[in-house]
Amino acid sequence: MFEKMKMNGEAVVVTGGGAGIGKSTAMAVAEMGATAVICGRTEATLRDAQADIRARGYACEYMMADVSKEEDVVKLAAAVAERWGSVKAIVNNAGNNYSALLHELQTPKWNELIATNLDSVYFMCREFIPLLLKSKGPSIVNIASTFGVIGNAKMPVYCATKGAVVNLTRQLAIDYGAQGLRVNSVCPGSTLSPRYKGYLDKGMVDMEAVKARIMLRRPAECDEIGNVAAFLVSDAASFMTGATVVVDGGQTIH
């Protein structure tokens, strides 16, 4: 099994790869021998993540891109194609959330979250599928959320986008399975990403209430999600496609 998890310098593109789950996923695929290509909007964050990954002796490059913008993704795919020719996998991790009742949610914020959480997946898949199909055993992993399979109070646009990502994943698995392209989604529960820790620091999240809903009585660390995403990228998961992999410490079973 471990042999099937090894990569040989193949490019794996991770959006939102500068921090949190994205960085942990990039670290994991790089440890497996891939060249982690992290992209995002903040160069300082990407540079720091690249330095951390390289400090462990792994291969990592970064490219600037706002994947909610079509033109940025087109340029990103062209740059990756020019440098590597093909990609082993893409991990669509970039995303954001927002809390409001639907009747209080303004159209600009709705459109912003749709662009970040859903349009980005569409743009990335559309532009990178031709590069993926040039590789042996290519894979797409879309980072969704437990709120893509259950509801949550005051998060209508986040739940809508993550549910869409889950079902788009299934649909892509149908269309491209015959060509050998696997497409899976990961649905994390509460995870101690920098953004989530910021909510805790501001008192926006009741940690005791969160723990009470999780059977393991704690939120996830980012690498506990990144490791699952990296496994799905690898050939060790060669017969998994169209799957919705919930990684939530038991949140959604209760």
Task: Let me know: does 142 contact 185? Beta carbons within 8 Å.
Answer: yes
The pairing of strands 182-188 and 89-92 is: unpaired
**Token pair for residue 250?**
């038991």
Cα 50 from Cα 96, distance rounded (Å)? 22
Sheet holding 182-188, edge to edge: 59-64, 35-40, 11-15, 89-92, 139-143, 182-188, 244-247
Using CA of residue 139, residue 144, residue 146, residue 149, what is the dihedral sign? negative
CA end-to-end span of the chain: 32
Q: Is 158 a catalytic residue?
A: yes
Q: Give, in order, the Cα–Cα distances in Å from 130 to each of 49, 59, 66, 73.
A: 28, 24, 20, 14
Instruction: From the candidates 58, 62, 98, 158, give the one annotated as an active-site residue.
Output: 158
The full length of the chain comes to 254
Active site residues: 158
